[in-house]
Structure 1
Amino acid sequence: MRNRAGVIIIENDRLALIERTRNGYTYYVFPGGGIEAKETPAEAAKREALEELGLEVEIGECFFELSGTAEESYFLAAVTGGKFGTGAGMEFTERDPERGSYKAVWVARDTLPSITLYPEELAAKLCQRTE
Structure 2
Amino acid sequence: MNSIRNSAKAIIIQDERMLLTVNKDDKGLFYICPGGGQEHSENLREAVVRECMEEIGEQVEVLDLVHVREYIGRNYDGGDPGTHQVEFYFECNLVSSSPTFENVSVPDHYQIGIDWVDINRLDEVRFYPKELGMRIKNKEGSIRYLGDVN
TM bin, normalised by shorter chain, reads 0.7 to 0.9
Query: Structure 1 regions of 5+ residues with no counterpart?
Result: 93-98
Residue 35 (structure 1) shift: 0.4
Tell me what 2:124 maps to.
114
Alignment RMSD (CA, Å): 2.1
Scaled by the length of structure 1, the TM-score of the pair is 0.84
Partner AA of 1:18 in structure 2: T
Query: Matches of residues 1-131 of structure 1 in structure 2 within 5 Å?
Result: 2-68=5-71, 69-81=84-96, 83-91=99-107, 99-129=109-139
> C-alpha separation between the residues in 1 aligned to 2:101 and 2:23?
14
Query: Structure 2 regions of 5+ residues with no counterpart?
Result: 72-83, 142-150
> C-alpha separation between the residues in 2 aligned to 1:47 and 1:100?
18
State percent identity of aligned pairs.
27
Partner AA of 1:63 in structure 2: V
Q: Which has the larger radius of gyration?
A: 2
Query: SS of the counterpart of 2:5?
Result: coil
Query: SS of the counterpart of 1:59?
Result: strand
Q: Which runs of 4+ in 1 moved over 4 A?
A: none
> C-alpha separation between the residues in 1 aligned to 2:130 and 2:27?
20
Scaled by the length of structure 2, the TM-score of the pair is 0.75
Residue 51 (structure 1) shift: 1.2
Q: Report Cα offsets for 1:57-99 as digits up to 9, x if no partner.
A: 110111110124121101000111273422423227xxxxxx4
**Contact 1:58 1:77 (8 Å CA) reproduced:** yes
Tell me what 1:95 maps to.
none
How many residue pairs end up in the alignment?
125
